């Protein structure tokens, strides 16, 4: 971690929603998902918010040795977004507690707010994390 990693860091990230990020594409193995409306899937929305948080803090880490992983998400999904619209995430780092990072997050689709809430991430050492996951996979 660099000394610059502190509450108040903000980041805005935009993304045009493709058909590949809609509910039917989330689990194409599921007939139930495939039959649902073609709108930005909540699962992809969560990933989009995480992406914005990662981009916000990476300049303040020893990237790529240090990375962050999501540990908690508490967000709304307030409105549906069809493919083709641009979504914008605005995130702010509001708390740094050792290696635990807490963000306020919000997203908009150019028409209305689609999400808001909180997200927590944890700073990891990539090599140690990969080693631990390798041992876990081998059990």
Question: Catalytic amino acids?
Answer: 42, 50, 77
Peptide bond into 64 cis (omega under 30): yes
Cα dihedral 76/78/83/84 (nearest 10): -100
User: What would the two tokens of residue 132 be?
Assistant: 């631990």
Backbone angles phi, psi at 16, to 5 degrees: -85, 125
Residue corresponding to tokens 């045009």: 16
Q: Is the peptide bond before 74 cis (omega within 30 degrees of 0)?
A: no
């Amino acid at each position: 971690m660099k000394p610059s990693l502190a509450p108040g860091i903000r980041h805005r990230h935009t993304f045009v929603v493709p058909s590949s990020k809609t509910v039917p594409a989330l689990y194409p193995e599921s007939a139930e998902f495939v039959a649902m409306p073609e709108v930005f899937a909540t699962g992809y929305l969560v990933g989009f918010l995480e992406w914005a948080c990662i981009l916000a803090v990476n300049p303040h880490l020893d990237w790529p040795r240090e990375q962050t992983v999501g540990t908690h998400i508490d967000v709304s999904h307030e409105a549906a977004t069809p493919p083709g619209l641009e979504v914008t995430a605005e995130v702010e780092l509001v708390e740094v507690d050792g290696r635990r990072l807490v963000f306020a997050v919000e997203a908009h689709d150019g028409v209305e707010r689609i999400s808001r809430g909180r997200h927590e991430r944890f700073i990891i050492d990539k090599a140690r994390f990969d080693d631990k996951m390798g041992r876990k996979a081998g059990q």
